[in-house]
Amino acid sequence: MTDKDGPAHPQARLRRIFVESEGTMMRAETMISTAPAATTIHPRWVRVCHWINALAILVMIGSGWQIYNASPLFDFLVFPRQIALGNWLAGALLWHFAAMWVLVINGVVYVTLGIVTGRFRRKLLPIRPGDVVADMKAALTFKLAHDDLSRYNAVQNLLYTGVILAGVVIVLSGLSIWKPVQLQELTALFGGYDAARYVHFFAMAAIVGFIVVHVALALIVPKSLRAMITGR
Amino acid sequence: MRQRRTIPGVDPKLLIKDATRVMPDASRRSFLRGAASLGALTFLTGCDIIDGDTAESVLRKISEFNDGAQAALFSRTKLAPTYPESAITRPFPFNAYYDEDEAPQVDGETYKLEVAGLVDSKKPWTLEELHALPEVSQITRHICVEGWSAIGSWQGTPLSEFLKRIGADTRAKYVWFKCAEGYTNTIDMPTALHPQTQLTFKFDNKILPRSYGFPMKIRMPTKLGFKNPKYVVAMEVTNTDKGGYWEDKGYNWFSGL
């Protein structure tokens, strides 16, 4: 939209003048031409998928810890009953195999839309090691800027991409443990039944690690939490 | 400690303790505990969805749905992976909800397998008659609902062969088993007819020791360990799901692998 197209909307003109003074005319034009929708940071489908996933993953982790306790992989690690879901093994399994449907169906919808709409490519790629190192340094010294929530920094790109991949691994290794006969080819891909249990465990550990960092950062930058609720 | 390397996460001495530990305490409200996770759930949903019988009945409904999903996924011809003799877990763990010295002691001399339900011949089978049936062998992985696994070697006769001999109506939905100590178990007919489902009389080519289920266990490498009953004294071909010891306590009914 330029002045030659005819009389510009007064408000649009105002905004354009304002933004020109900031020296970011390109962005301002996009903002004006596509009107209010452009200010949406997270489209509705992202927010809905995010919170369904948050709920499902909490149930999966809580019940998974209880299941783990029935036959721990490591001598030094047993999860306290108070933070494990299901009361005992049968209850935990019922929770785990109920929430799995929510996690998987929601995950498939999310990943499909992420690819089809181009959101993953646009928001998460490319990930350059140099950017990651620079942004990591900035983050650790509290110098990382968060004024534009619609753009992820390189550390976010790395973590979000990583957790999506961990999600794929935890679902596939979980299927390998659940169905080591019917899906034995998949189980073999993970190195057999026993190895798949370790893969499943470490994918859980990676996701828990992500959640700790993710929640801490969302609380440090509360407007990012607001954006995931209201969209802007 | 050598055991720990062969079966990750399993100390055979602790198995019995584990079995006790996972047993439900009758005084507890079954599946709904787990303060922190539930707290988080309540926080996220803004309401208390976990309280009462509703959650439990919903979970049981989903578990029934999962029975159907697993039955659909079950292949009548797909075989469980088999292993070489060198892969056998030694010693193979004893596992039950009671101590090893409390395991049933069945007298092989007087033993008779009772046969009931939708069959032509309800004549009981002596151990001698059972041992005369054609023998097949398998070295497969036993996977416990708790997560650990162990590879064992079992010899016996295919259950499908036995069902044929007693003139069972294989259009029936279930086969029900009863064990000497009162343990019970119901399986679906497709699993009963699976080529690897076996009336087992031997472990590692020797008559089953008491701890592994003398005189007869039912071995199904397509189902979790607790669906493989030991000390079997009766079976019934039926269209009624008569449940089972652990299934009634909340383990998934189909429990297929």
Containing H/E element for A83?
Answer: none
Instruction: State which residue of chain A sits closest to B71, comparing Cα positions.
Output: A182
**Across the interface, which of B25, B32, B148 has its CB nearest the CB of A71?**
B148
Instruction: State which residue of chain A sits closest to B73, comparing Cα positions.
Output: A182
Q: What residue ranges do the domains of chain A occupy? A: 1-39, 41-230
Q: Which tokens in the block code for residue B189?
A: 């007919």
Q: Render each residue's pLDDT in chain A as its tens digit; 232 residues.
A: 333 444 444 444 444 434 444 444 444 444 444 444 457 888 999 999 999 999 999 999 999 999 999 999 999 999 998 888 888 899 899 999 999 999 999 999 999 999 999 988 888 888 888 888 888 888 888 777 777 777 788 888 889 999 999 999 999 999 999 999 999 999 999 999 999 999 999 999 999 999 999 999 899 888 888 889 988 8
Specify the pTM: 0.81
| B8 interaction partners in chain A (CB closer than 8 Å) | 73, 194, 197-198
DSSP assignment letter at B75: -
DSSP assignment letter at B168: B
Task: Note whether A68 and A201 are within 8 A (CB).
Answer: yes
Rounded to a whole number of angstroms, the distance from the CA of B109 to the nearest CA of chain A is: 37
Task: Note whether A40 and A229 are within 8 A (CB).
Answer: no
CB contact under 8 A, A89 and B221: no
Size of interface A-B (CB pairs under 8 A): 145
Query: Is domain B1-257 given the CATH code 3.30.70.3460 in the classification?
Result: no
| B59 interaction partners in chain A (CB closer than 8 Å) | 91, 94-95, 98
* Alpha helical stretches, state H, A75-179: 89-116, 119-124, 129-140, 154-178
Q: From residue A84, how far is each of A68, A93, A96, B233 by CA, in Å?
A: 10, 12, 12, 39
Q: What is the ipTM of this complex?
A: 0.80
Which CATH architecture does the domain made up of A41-230 adopt?
Up-down Bundle (1.20)
CB contact under 8 A, A180 and B257: yes
Q: What residue ranges do the domains of chain B occupy? A: 1-257
Q: From residue A61, how far is each of A53, A54, A127, A151, B39 by CA, in Å?
A: 12, 11, 28, 30, 14
| B24 interaction partners in chain A (CB closer than 8 Å) | 87-88, 90
Span of A177-186, A216-225, B75-84, B135-144 with lowest mean pLDDT: A216-225
